[in-house]
Structure 1
Amino acid sequence: MPQLRIHFTDLDLARTRLKLEMDLMWEIVSSVQLLQHTKEGACFDPWRRRVRDRVSRDSVLRSAVLTLMTVAPHATYFPDFLTPALDTADIDAAVDAVLSAPSARRTREVGRLRPADGAAANWLNELAAGKVPALRHLRQALRVYFRSLIEPKLQTIDGGLQKEWADGAQRYLRAGPEGLLRWFSPAATWEPPILTIDYPLDRDLYLGGRGLVLAPSYFCALHPVALADPRLRPILVFPIAAGTRLLAAGHCDDGNLSALLGATRATILRAVVSGSTTTGLSKLVGVAPATISHHTGVLRAAGLITTHRHERAATHTITPLGLRVLTSSPVGAEKSLGAAGGRG
């Protein structure tokens, strides 16, 4: 079977990390490819059926889906510029990053696609050339697709990713970066200094001191995926566990967490999964920094977050216990909070 071999140095191992933010463009691209095959049916068949039903009744959505299937086919290659290195939860910012790819890069990457359909080939040629109508068409397709098919499922996606983040963070705390490399995928084998992964084609990726970002994805289904261009930031997007996907819908009701902690503290706990400052939380929640400090003090005393201060800024980060509370059932969360209170 073909394999991807990722070569590490000691510096690469030290710089390997788990991405703790949802990547909107990877979810979009992965879901578009998922619509083009029938594998992983137990998890995704209901979603595919809903998409087919909506597409049959909505010509604008149908055009968006066909456009994205053209530029992101289910194949051994799709353009890297569709998944820019950007941490944002805003679809407009993500789309802007896609469209702002350098023209030479867009031309090169789109040029590797070989559609059989004449109309699709003509549009890709115009996209590669940076024609304004083609770029606008791609922008519209990405926005319509996201608003119609991804945004309504964001809560479920986030629920699955939070469980994966919690598992990965605990593995990292127990066993360091090598623990992550042994945990993230059954398709991967870590034999220092090489990570070997079952892959659609044979290739070698030399990290060269840049480290590796491991990014769990809800819609990534068949195997981990790396960028085609080895010069770009090394990232490996991998499927979350199938069982986690199936359970995510049952654990994404924020009402349970809000009832347990209060709405403001529940929002804060979710926001600090990837770290946040007091000022950032104040803007997110819409209350004064002094009020945020009160709530973070309560969460810190319960062992759910930690706070690190540098000069005048305080950065808050969730703890493994906080992650367990965030991703557990209401009963499990109550037990965790009880234990935290006992230790306080």
Structure 2
Amino acid sequence: MLTLHLNATDLSRTTVRSAPSVLIELAAAGQRLFQATVPEHLAQWRARTRAALRPAMRPYLDLCRLAWWLPDFVTPPGLGSDFRTSLDEVAATPVERLAAELRPRLDAGDLPARVGPLASGEAAARRELLAAMTAFHAVAVAPYWSTVGAAVQTDRAVRGHALVDAGIDRVLRDLSPHLSWRSAGSTYQLSYECAFGTELDVVPDGRGVTLVPAYFLPHPCVLDDPAGPLVLAYPIRPSRRELTTARPLADLLGRTRAAVLGVIADGPSTSQVARALGISVASASQHASTLRAAGLVTSHRNGVAVLHALTPLGAQLLRAGRVSPR
């Protein structure tokens, strides 16, 4: 059991994020791949994602295999929704932190030995991790991001109405079936069963709590950044709708070209598009050229790299091509 011991100041500083955290969703998606079962609305998503896995994604998925643990450095405290910006936070992880978080799990045999170079902070291993996160994001999260964002915003709206109508006590009491809320006088406790079965007590001591609704997350998790509010990510209530992707756009442009258009939304270079989708640089360049000729993307040279961006027409087509939940 992990228990948050809150005081009145913590309650007054409790907020709910309005947008999903892309790296929390990415990590949770990775963990979902290794679960024995998943909710019905994620079954086809998992089948599609597993079919799209590539060896280059392994350096990241190695860190997601344990149901009860995930290194904190892959979900940094920025909690942003922009993948590129969030990835830069991971890239800036100090070597000392990599060792502190990974070495104990390696020594215990919980992680494969091939994680060792990353735990040592080797530059090549760090680059491989970032490339693996980019490639996995492209197949597991990016195509579904509009649906994920809409679901998280809906959950936040529900919490907002509860706060106005009944106060923070009701919000925390009804937050998730995984969480237990107790209040008695000036004592407040929010707790959940840990996957690793250890008794843990966490005291924010007036720093407040940031609640992060998460679509893929299988169970609540706490991220404790001493420099800011305590972060409690919690799974939103299961949807009855199958998680969908931009299928009409794939029918129109072709699966790979539609995927290239989706990746270009993040402003990558040609080589980054290739790595994200597991295709050759020549193929990525050809698809980008076709999209550019159709007026959907623009390209410009930055040193030796060619960077791509969506035009207003391309952005509109990408939005329209995303299937709304049924």
Structure with the bigger percentage of helix: 1
Letter of the aligned partner of 1:208 in structure 2? D
Change in Cα spacing, 1:246 to 1:74, as seen in structure 2 (3 Å) is farther
- Asked if the contact 1:161–1:216 (Cα under 8 Å) also holds between the matched residues in 2, the reply is yes
The offset of 1:70, in angstroms, is 1.2
Range that drifts further, 169-178 or 143-152: 169-178
The offset of 1:89, in angstroms, is 2.9
Equivalent residue number for residue 199 of structure 1: 194
State the TM-score, normalized to the length of structure 2. Answer: 0.68
The offset of 1:232, in angstroms, is 6.8
Same amino acid, percent of matched pairs: 26
Q: State how far apart, in whole Å, the 1-side matches of 2:83 and 2:151 are.
A: 20
Q: State how far apart, in whole Å, the 2-side matches of 1:117 and 1:84 are.
A: 22
Equivalent residue number for residue 59 of structure 2: 67
Range that drifts further, 145-154 or 70-79: 70-79
* Paired residues for 1:145-224 under 5 Å: 145-192=136-183, 193-200=188-195, 201=197, 202-221=199-218, 223-224=219-220
Change in Cα spacing, 1:218 to 1:226, as seen in structure 2 (3 Å) is same
The offset of 1:102, in angstroms, is 2.4
Q: Deviations over 1:21-79 (max 9, x none)?
A: 21000000000000011223412111111112223xxxxx3330x22221222232211
Which ranges of structure 2 fall in alignment gaps of 5 or more residues? Answer: 249-311, 313-323
The offset of 1:188, in angstroms, is 1.8
Q: State how far apart, in whole Å, the 2-side matches of 1:18 and 1:131 are.
A: 37
The offset of 1:93, in angstroms, is 1.0
Equivalent residue number for residue 231 of structure 2: 235
- Asked if the contact 2:44–2:242 (Cα under 8 Å) also holds between the matched residues in 1, the reply is no
Letter of the aligned partner of 2:154 in structure 1? K
Letter of the aligned partner of 1:196 in structure 2? S
State the TM-score, normalized to the length of structure 1. Answer: 0.64
The offset of 1:174, in angstroms, is 1.8
Equivalent residue number for residue 87 of structure 2: 95
Equivalent residue number for residue 97 of structure 2: 105
Which of residues 129, 139, 146 in structure 1 aligns to 2:130?
Answer: 139
Q: State how far apart, in whole Å, the 2-side matches of 1:226 and 1:67 are.
A: 24
Range that drifts further, 90-99 or 195-204: 195-204
Q: Deviations over 1:64-117 (max 9, x none)?
A: 0x2222122223221111111114332111111012122222210111323859
Q: State how far apart, in whole Å, the 2-side matches of 1:241 and 1:154 are.
A: 17
- Asked if the contact 2:22–2:83 (Cα under 8 Å) also holds between the matched residues in 1, the reply is yes
Q: State how far apart, in whole Å, the 2-side matches of 1:158 and 1:189 are.
A: 26
Q: State how far apart, in whole Å, the 2-side matches of 1:79 and 1:87 are.
A: 15
Q: State how far apart, in whole Å, the 1-side matches of 2:226 and 2:70 are.
A: 14
Q: State how far apart, in whole Å, the 2-side matches of 1:248 and 1:166 are.
A: 20
Q: State how far apart, in whole Å, the 2-side matches of 1:245 and 1:134 are.
A: 40
Q: State how far apart, in whole Å, the 1-side matches of 2:86 and 2:59 are.
A: 17
Change in Cα spacing, 1:248 to 1:125, as seen in structure 2 (3 Å) is closer
- Asked if the contact 2:19–2:153 (Cα under 8 Å) also holds between the matched residues in 1, the reply is no
The offset of 1:248, in angstroms, is 6.8
Q: Aligned to 2:59, what secondary structure does the other structure show? A: helix
Q: State how far apart, in whole Å, the 1-side matches of 2:8 and 2:93 are.
A: 32
Change in Cα spacing, 1:245 to 1:172, as seen in structure 2 (3 Å) is farther
Equivalent residue number for residue 69 of structure 2: 77
Change in Cα spacing, 1:232 to 1:34, as seen in structure 2 (3 Å) is farther
Q: State how far apart, in whole Å, the 2-side matches of 1:232 and 1:110 are.
A: 23
Change in Cα spacing, 1:146 to 1:165, as seen in structure 2 (3 Å) is same
Q: Aligned to 1:246, what secondary structure does the other structure show? A: coil
- Asked if the contact 1:160–1:248 (Cα under 8 Å) also holds between the matched residues in 2, the reply is no
Q: State how far apart, in whole Å, the 1-side matches of 2:161 and 2:74 are.
A: 31
**Count of aligned pairs between the two proteins:** 244
The offset of 1:230, in angstroms, is 7.1
Q: State how far apart, in whole Å, the 1-side matches of 2:155 and 2:136 are.
A: 25
- Asked if the contact 1:81–1:101 (Cα under 8 Å) also holds between the matched residues in 2, the reply is yes
Cα root mean square deviation, aligned: 2.8
Change in Cα spacing, 1:36 to 1:248, as seen in structure 2 (3 Å) is closer
- Asked if the contact 2:42–2:243 (Cα under 8 Å) also holds between the matched residues in 1, the reply is no
Which of residues 54, 59, 71 in structure 1 aligns to 2:52?
Answer: 54
Which of residues 222, 227, 249 in structure 2 aligns to 1:226?
Answer: 222
Q: State how far apart, in whole Å, the 1-side matches of 2:221 and 2:227 are.
A: 15
Q: State how far apart, in whole Å, the 1-side matches of 2:208 and 2:25 are.
A: 22
Q: Aligned to 2:141, what secondary structure does the other structure show? A: helix
